[in-house]
Structure 1
Amino acid sequence: MPAKKKKKRIRPVIEEVVTQTPESAGDILAGAPVEGPPEDKADTPEQTPEPVQKEATDPASEPTQETDEPTKSKKTNFKMIFVITVISALVAAFVSGGVYVYLNGLNELDKPFVNQGNADASPTASPTSAPTATPEPEEIDISKLSLSVLNGSGAIGAAGKAQDILEFGGFSVEHTGNAANYSFKSTTIQVKSNVEAGVVSKLKTLLSDSYKPEVGDTLPDSSKYDIVVTVGEN
């Protein structure tokens, strides 16, 4: 007997089709951009890209740009040389002018001064005055003067001491005696009006070594003596 054929049993599988919404699609496709609603192409005109115009480069200009820096440096060097030249010329002119003025000033000082008002007048010799001889003072002959020495201090020998001093100096003492009183504190010299001052000065010089002489009143013309010396305590 023929074998029995086994029947295949088919099990139906029902698959559930789920329509994916935009939210669920976003979950499935993570990071995928969500397309927006389609734009109305009829309302917005399409923008055509403008053609980009490339500037035409002149091949001759490129080497010029490369040579700009040397040209600028040359111009700068020329300006510096020009400025230095001008400053040097000014300094040289200033120094030369100063030297010229200085030399002219020296020449003017060396020239003799000429008075323009009397330039045409012939020089006249000025008379030279002959030196006048100054008269020498005449020496006074003191030996001819009459002189009296009086003791006015009361000390013994006071008049004789003064007599010796005066005669040693060249005077001639004709009389010695006592004064009217002995109250003379200092030695006094009295002379007549006709006796010169040089005689009085000499008397004071001779007596100043031992006394402190003073000049007293002038003797009257009727006095017997030309000079009277009264010796005091000093």
Structure 2
Amino acid sequence: MLTEILESNILVISKKGKVLGVSLCDGVEEIKELIVDKVGGHIDNMLNERLLGILSTKENVNLETLGFVGEDIKNYRAIINPIDIAGERLGTVFMYKFDTQYEIDDIILSEYGTTVVGLEMMRSVNEESAEESRKIQIVKSAISTLSFSELEAITHIFEELDGTEGILVASKIADRVGITRSVIVNALRKFESAGVIESRSSGMKGTYIKVINDYIFEELEELRAQKTK
């Protein structure tokens, strides 16, 4: 809606320069230099640094001052709105149009829209943080259910894995480490019940294991570090 009202092309850009959203206005020619009009792409690093250096709303910005060049660039005007929520810089709303100035009402509307975008970004960040905390707690809880020998088995199982998935032969690990096969099976069952891994039999080849909560790697690394102290 802002695109139509402000007659502007609008980009939402993360703090790291990733394009999170794009809205193009009919009649406003896209600027291809330094910016990407596809969600998931990244703008030019130097341009992003310049945008992050702007700490309050700047209106009717001459794009040449941001590093853009070209015959028609001097005819564009931009509004740059920092996305700043609770003192944290989350990114930038960058909007531009051709051959006309932004009026005070446009600036107020752009700031309102930026606030809405910022709140949505903060909600997304909080949800992501909550999900990370949940996954970490699941891993810690799963490890706490293991006996000493089961924890040893899990440690060796993950050492055998090639990345986040692979096929393991429990009997080989049992013989090499000096624990029973049943200990390995019990450890795997506990981790599968907790949602840390998925496993299925691959017949004579062994057991296929896939990690679905990759925080287990960090936790096991911490346990190894504690052992070496």
> Common fold, TM-score beyond 0.5?
no
| TM-score using structure 2 length | 0.21
Larger Rg over CA atoms:
1
Question: TM-score of the superposition, structure 1-length normalised?
Answer: 0.21
Give the structure with the higher percent helix. Answer: 2
